[in-house]
Amino acid sequence: MRTKQIYKFKDSKIFKSQILIWAQQFDDVVWLDSNNYEQAYSNYDAVLAVDAFTCIQTDYVQGFEKLKEYQTLVNDWIFGYLTYDLKNDVEALKSSNFDGLEFPDLYFFQPKKLFFFKDNQVEIQYLNCVDDEIEDDLEAIQNLDDSHLEHSRKVSENQIKIKLRIHKDEYFERINNMLDHIHRGDIYEANFCQEFYAENTTIHPLETYNKLNAISNPPFATFLKCQDKYLLSASPERYLKKEGTSLISQPIKGTAKRALNIDEDIRLKQDLSENEKERSENIMIVDLVRNDLSKTAIKGSVKVEELCQIYTFDQVHQMISTVTSKVEPSTHPIDIIKSTFPMGSMTGAPKISAMKIIEDLEETKRGLYSGAVGYFSPIGDFDFNVVIRSILYNDTKKYVSYSVGGAITAKSDPLKEYEECLVKAKAMRMVLEN
């Protein structure tokens, strides 16, 4: 059972900053922040889950079945992540590329303490076993400020030097290899990703997250701490949300840079809207998402609510579509996730062929990158983002990584694809190198 309490505060920005500093004392932290971004399917401005009461950590082998058993047994809020490599549980696939981060394939925890932010108040939910800590926690949070963050900051002994796992000429070679697959008819589209990394490097995770979030201000920002492993995400993309019997997926395909000049920025946005190659990328993935949702949908309920809409973020313009469906109340939420995972925007079409080719051509195991972070509610609702525009960090190994990718189609120009990757990587590189 959980105790609920409503707390009102004067300044949400200050209180959010304080509560994130306070949360660092725990080994298990998930912070989801919409940055007050106006979106049609948002329940909260932000959510914080801390301090595991129970948890599940496993590799991909029967991963979804183990999660299903755990989620059903706990019957409470659980927060955590699904790595891309759970594809190996869904299909007869493998992940044998280099892994410098070593995140478990799947991790969820039942938090002792939950904070749901909306406007200028927070609803606090505590398990009864920590009921007596509420007032002390609130007092501790209110007494924190940035000086506490400054005091706890770990300063890197070396300047961060970003390395490329795949260099430019090799990138062109692999894109051309993928284009050969497309021209042969093996696939129509596939998402090819590359890793940027730094070794023997110490960062302060919360400070890095705050800087990245300030630059990008995205609607699906995430700070995740799982013992010594961290995700610092400025994701603009929703993977899948369930609310009652309704499902909402919002795949992103199509990216354009922003310009400081207003007229130039409007032109770039318009060019993206009319770009035949970007639209075809998006429409192919919409078809894939429609197919995935149809596996659990009530017949005739899959609908495309938005097709190739342009959304503007601080760093880029994005082309986003919204696909919805209805499911029977008896459909298990984990079965819905399993039938649609991994998300179409990070794989390709046909999905299984694309994932096999991706594994052959990429250099790095994706892990949590292009996976999903989110939560399940006690009544079986859920909401998950797509882990992109993100920095991943293993504090024990002193290994920092970020990856970027793009959809390759028959009309792809390897040079333009490479330039798009650099646009997507800009915010992460700025935060780490400066």
Q: For residue 173, give every residue at least 6 positions away whose Cβ sits within 8 Å of its Cβ, in sequence order, or none.
A: none
Measure the CA–CA gap between 337 and 383, rounded to whole angstroms.
10
Please choose, from the candidates 313, 291, 317, 318, the residue with its C-alpha nearest in 3D space to the C-alpha of residue 304: 291
| Whether 65 is catalytic | no
**Which one of 66, 113, 195, 237 is the catalytic residue?**
237
How many CA atoms lie within 13 Å of 308's alpha carbon, on the beta-carbon side?
18
User: What are 133's two structure tokens?
Assistant: 């800590």
In this structure, the number of other CB atoms found within 10 A of the CB of residue 288 comes to 24
Cβ neighbours for 207, distance < 8 A, ≥ 6 positions apart: 149, 153
Whether 46 and 31 have beta carbons less than 8 Å apart is answered as: yes
Strand pairing partners for 212?
none
Identify the active-site residue in 87, 113, 253, 424.
253
Establish how many alpha carbons lie within 13 A of residue 277's alpha carbon, considering only the half-sphere containing its beta carbon.
13
Helix 276-294 × helix 333-340 angle, to 10°: 140
Which segments within 119-245 are labelled E, that is strand? 121-127, 163-164, 189-198, 220-226, 229-235, 238-243
Tokens of 204: 């302060």
- Is 237 known to be catalytic? yes
Could you give the count of Cα atoms lying within 13 Å of 111 in the half-sphere of its Cβ? 31
Say how far apart CA 388 and CA 238 lie, in whole Å: 10
* Coil/strand/helix, residue 433: helix
Six-digit token string for 255 = 């990216």
CA–CA separation, 379 and 364 (whole Å):
37
- Three-point CA angle 103, 105, 106, nearest 5°: 110
Residue 416, CA atoms < 13 Å, CB-side half-sphere:
12
Q: Alpha-carbon distance 20 to 199, whole Å?
A: 27
Q: Which two tokens stand for residue 231?
A: 């995700």
Q: Give the separation between CA 248 and CA 303, rounded to whole angstroms.
A: 10
Annotated catalytic residues are 237, 253
